[in-house]
Structure 1
Amino acid sequence: MRTIMATEEKIQSGASVILNRVDVSAPVGADIAAPIIEETARISIPIAPYPIPDVIQPDTQELSLEGGCSGGLPQCPSSEFGGINPAPADRQSTSEIPESSTATPSEARWQYHPVPSETMMPDPYPEYACRLVSGAHDLRLIAARARGKKHKHEGTNCDDWFEIASCGAWNLIAVADGAGSKQFSRVGAKTACEVAVTSLCTALNELRLEPRCWTNTTTVFARDQDDEFIQADLRLMGDSLRQAVLKAFQSVQQAAAVRRGSEHHQHALGRDIEVYDLSTTLLLMAHTVVRDGTGRPYDLAMSIAIGDGVIGALSWDGRVYLMMDADHGQFSGETEFLSARVMEPEWLKRRLRLFIGPPRRAFLVMSDGVADDYFPNNPGLARLFGDLTLNGLVGLPPLPDAETESLPALTDGASVESPTVAGARLTAEGTQHLALYSIQRYAEQLRMPLDQVLTEPALLRAGCRPDPLPGRDAAERLLTWLDAYQVRGSFDDRTLVIADRERPL
């Protein structure tokens, strides 16, 4: 059995019954499965889908496809949490690009077109969203999603969605990425996130995990012959996540069912709507803090992932723990979506991950629009968090007294310039240019390893931007950064949820 901060490959199985509607108040532990919804008669309507605006398509062949277009993470030999992928020596980081290379001819042809109105396309969704929640256990939940450059250029909707909540002792996060090839995948993404978080909040609100020796992983991760957790409270937690995913899929099926026969949706598709038109991924995480018999705290998080994106944890020393395995199809660019096939108990067992360890610096949940830009995830997630730190989007760790006197020496070096890279937001008012801070550039200027910079509070404080990004709070500033940072070949929707704390518990 692995030591602390290990992953467990098995979760509970359960018998299946048919439910014909979503009931997020169903008792936890009740076995449920995806419902069977009878198809209505299909209506064939010979009407073409709404055309996209008459715009010039950028020559994407001129754009580097390093980062932003990989379609997910490769399956690598496992280490802690399903494998942390070491950075290949021949793969160049692309989270920052020099200012001189940001205005290529291809980039200059990107145009902005607003989200279509409801008269042109049913179920229009806001172009962007952001939210800030004070979570449990000194965690702050910050979330934002931004419409991708390709959607802005084509005048189509953002397909991502997120939901965050703090319920009792629990912090809950859901992120979904609708299939880009499906016109109403945004409906599936929104529906799945909302129902999954509501289900978890109902199921876990009163659940408290009993004190025990959490470092005894043999006991903590023990399973019975049916692959159920022997520890009753952990079994209940696993059941809650599994049922949340099942209810999310049921809700997506129902969302498609209630739109069947809609002339507006038939007009958009040229046919009646089907469940696959709402195809979406779903990343779900529930977090709390547990204690041993002496009162020592530990972060405990359970997650489940259907599709690509990243769920990860970052320790105070900059180490990255990947809490999921991305799902991929047979070909490059394919991924799994919520479907009847992936709702099978055996399949869901393989997706559940349990994390236990000393309190983390942060947890990150993101769609592939961000994850691919910071590929590979080790050290990509640490670099991502460094960029967020220097741009004032997450709290700085407290400065130890012993380092206070050394801070001026770090800021006096004439060789350390402002570690900025060019950022740009494509908006209705035109392109807004911003200077963004880069942890990679900062480390290069200091001539220090990136991992060392990330673990030195004094260095991080010295390198932070002096002025905040535009926005009234941390969530709006995160949205600004998310919409503005530049990576070659990156034009997907971007969604990022951060659960961070400023100091160890």
Structure 2
Amino acid sequence: MTGKEEAAALAQAADAQKQALMGTVPEEEKSGETAENAPFEKGAAAGTSEAGDAPPAADEEPAALSDAAVLAHTASLWQYHPVPTDEPDAAPEYMKEERRLGTADFIASRVRGKKHKHDGTNCDDWFAAAETGGIAIVAVSDGAGSKRFSRVGARAASEAAVGAIYEQLRTLDAAGAEQRTAFALPTDDAAFVEACAKLSAALHEGVLAARRAVLAAFYERCGRAAYTKLLGRDIALSDFAATLLVTVVVPVPECAELLILSCQVGDGMTCAVNTHAPCGSAVKLMGKPDSGDFSGETDFLTSEAMTDVSNLQRRTLVTRGAYDLVLTMTDGVADDYFNAQELHRLYLDLMLNGVLPNVQDNEMFTRDDIEFLRSLPQPEAVPWVNDKETRVALHSAEHLCRALGTTQEALWQRAHVLSLAVADTSLKDVASRAERLKIWLDNYLTRGSFDDRTLALLSWGDAGHA
């Protein structure tokens, strides 16, 4: 962590403390939310953690605070205020989905960030997905945090992108026998290149449709009193600014591979994972966050540059390989798992908390596997932002590595048994993996992380790509 990042985290803690001293959340504002996380225990946690200790004294020297101490301090100070009901286009606190897309399991969740909960403002993220002929289409979008109605742009963009690509693929008969044959050819074969070009064109049409949908959402609201009153001015197109990450995944059973195409506008991250590959070489990044004219500035769909197909082509990556997991996330998650090495850790965290498929019933465990499971420490438990009396116990690969004196690589080699560790967490009685993902996104702690979080995944598990 840089000095600037540490200073920002401490400043956030001080600001939260100041606001906490000014008042508490009325009980009526909490009503109805605890039921969303019923498996959690009140009072005593399912596990123990330094993050649950008393906050440091007010006069403690800030420079002496460790990451764990800062997290303990801020976890107790964040307040919860419900989604405002007096604004148009209110976004729900949570969003989740779990279903089959062709031969893949689709699992996705979106949670309102701690900063939005603290301020009583709306979540800005959205996601959408569809399938045609076994081809999966996934989009996630993050509205610009400084723009009051960016959540409207995020929803319009992700839903329009998926719908447009779906219709394009049906029109192209992308799942037809001829195209399927081409997808399995060597990657330098002219027919394979032509088939990929058609998929790319459909992908780009989806992005263009997303931009048109954002413009339409803006035009529909121009001159409406509810919007001008809230802003104190007429709305502008920039008020609907949003990022967009769109991914198309084609199973290629002839070579037991996935053909993946991804286009990215703005920040966030998409990656493909071969969970059977060695740690360190299992993750393939499918794009990178881009910026505008100045450092730290993000490009959005509302930019005129997004009407240029050649620009979209530069933002598109294509790969084919023996992958069995595809992850797409907004920056609220991507900033916490910011490179290929950290994305290995993300996979381990998802396994440890039972989000990814469990081991098969006929899995054989060695004596070393059993001893490893017995050696795992109790999961860390922290107060839930929505209700401080509720504590949530979750595993993290980082905590395991520290406690066991081991490495991510060593955990990766034990990945086939990690899903059993969920039995020690607050998620043990949660059957739905999308619900587990939602709870995990809502509660994992990373210093300086308080944005909305969205993660959508396609998992083939042991089912293969047939």
Task: Give the shorter-chain TM-score range.
Answer: 0.7 to 0.9
Sort the Cα spacing of 1:431 and 1:342 in 2 relative to 1 into closer, same or farther, 3 A: farther
1:343 partnered with 2:295: no
The residue type paired with residue 345 of structure 1 is V
Cα deviation 1:362-401 (Å, max 9, x = unaligned): 11100000111123x2211111111111111111354886
The residue type paired with residue 334 of structure 2 is A
Deviation at 1:187, TM superposition (A): 0.3
1:454 partnered with 2:418: no
Aligned-partner Cα distance in 2 for 1:161–1:401 = 37
What's 1:367 paired with? 330
Which deviates more, 157-166 or 337-346? 337-346
1:334 partnered with 2:297: yes
- Of 93, 97, 100, which residue of structure 2 is paired with 1:131? 97
Deviation at 1:472, TM superposition (A): 5.0
What's 2:379 paired with? 420
What's 2:187 paired with? 217
What's 1:115 paired with? 83
What's 2:23 paired with? none
The residue type paired with residue 118 of structure 2 is H
Cα deviation 1:316-353 (Å, max 9, x = unaligned): 22421100021113444321100222221221110111
TM-score by length of structure 2 reads 0.78
1:354 partnered with 2:318: yes
Superposed, 1:113-192 pairs within 5 Å as 113-117=81-85, 120-137=86-103, 139-192=104-157
The residue type paired with residue 318 of structure 2 is L
Sort the Cα spacing of 1:361 and 1:432 in 2 relative to 1 into closer, same or farther, 3 A: farther
The residue type paired with residue 327 of structure 2 is L
Aligned-partner Cα distance in 1 for 2:430–2:364 = 34
Deviation at 1:430, TM superposition (A): 4.2
Deviation at 1:124, TM superposition (A): 1.0
Deviation at 1:204, TM superposition (A): 1.6
Sort the Cα spacing of 1:230 and 1:396 in 2 relative to 1 into closer, same or farther, 3 A: closer
Sort the Cα spacing of 1:408 and 1:125 in 2 relative to 1 into closer, same or farther, 3 A: closer
C-alpha contact 1:290 1:297 (8 A) present in aligned 2: yes
Cα deviation 1:151-197 (Å, max 9, x = unaligned): 11111100000112232211111100000111100000000011111
Does the residue aligned with 2:358 lie in a helix, a strand or coil? Answer: coil
Deviation at 1:243, TM superposition (A): 0.5
Aligned-partner Cα distance in 1 for 2:216–2:419 = 50
C-alpha contact 1:142 1:474 (8 A) present in aligned 2: yes
Aligned-partner Cα distance in 2 for 1:213–1:116 = 48
Aligned-partner Cα distance in 2 for 1:103–1:466 = 22
Q: Which runs of 5+ in 2 are unaligned?
A: 1-9, 16-48, 54-68
The residue type paired with residue 346 of structure 2 is L
Deviation at 1:444, TM superposition (A): 4.0
The residue type paired with residue 371 of structure 1 is A
Does the residue aligned with 1:210 lie in a helix, a strand or coil? Answer: helix
Superposed, 1:263-278 pairs within 5 Å as 263-278=225-240
What's 1:479 paired with? 438
Aligned-partner Cα distance in 2 for 1:304–1:140 = 21
Which deviates more, 339-348 or 485-494? 339-348
Aligned-partner Cα distance in 2 for 1:461–1:106 = 29
Aligned-partner Cα distance in 2 for 1:474–1:423 = 21
- Of 60, 64, 68, which residue of structure 1 is paired with 2:12? 60
Aligned-partner Cα distance in 2 for 1:239–1:213 = 15
Q: Percent identity?
A: 35
The residue type paired with residue 155 of structure 1 is G
What's 1:207 paired with? 174
Does the residue aligned with 2:181 lie in a helix, a strand or coil? Answer: coil
Aligned-partner Cα distance in 2 for 1:97–1:134 = 39
What's 1:490 paired with? 449
Aligned residues: 397
Cα deviation 1:444-463 (Å, max 9, x = unaligned): 44443312321334542564
Aligned-partner Cα distance in 1 for 2:163–2:246 = 12
Does the residue aligned with 1:239 lie in a helix, a strand or coil? Answer: helix
Deviation at 1:108, TM superposition (A): 3.1
The residue type paired with residue 304 of structure 1 is C
Deviation at 1:441, TM superposition (A): 2.6
C-alpha contact 2:129 2:138 (8 A) present in aligned 1: yes
Sort the Cα spacing of 1:401 and 1:257 in 2 relative to 1 into closer, same or farther, 3 A: closer
What's 1:310 paired with? 269
C-alpha contact 2:383 2:392 (8 A) present in aligned 1: yes
C-alpha contact 1:424 1:431 (8 A) present in aligned 2: yes
The residue type paired with residue 260 of structure 2 is A
Does the residue aligned with 2:336 lie in a helix, a strand or coil? Answer: helix
Does the residue aligned with 1:140 lie in a helix, a strand or coil? Answer: strand
Aligned-partner Cα distance in 1 for 2:76–2:270 = 34
1:320 partnered with 2:283: yes
Sort the Cα spacing of 1:411 and 1:276 in 2 relative to 1 into closer, same or farther, 3 A: closer
Q: Which has the higher helix share?
A: 2
Aligned-partner Cα distance in 1 for 2:157–2:353 = 31
Aligned-partner Cα distance in 1 for 2:363–2:449 = 42
The residue type paired with residue 412 of structure 2 is L
- Of 255, 265, 278, which residue of structure 1 is paired with 2:217? 255
Aligned-partner Cα distance in 2 for 1:480–1:105 = 21
Deviation at 1:405, TM superposition (A): 5.4
Does the residue aligned with 2:228 lie in a helix, a strand or coil? Answer: helix
Does the residue aligned with 1:211 lie in a helix, a strand or coil? Answer: helix
Deviation at 1:483, TM superposition (A): 0.4
C-alpha contact 2:369 2:414 (8 A) present in aligned 1: no
Aligned-partner Cα distance in 2 for 1:305–1:213 = 22
The residue type paired with residue 331 of structure 2 is D
- Of 392, 397, 416, which residue of structure 2 is paired with 1:434? 392
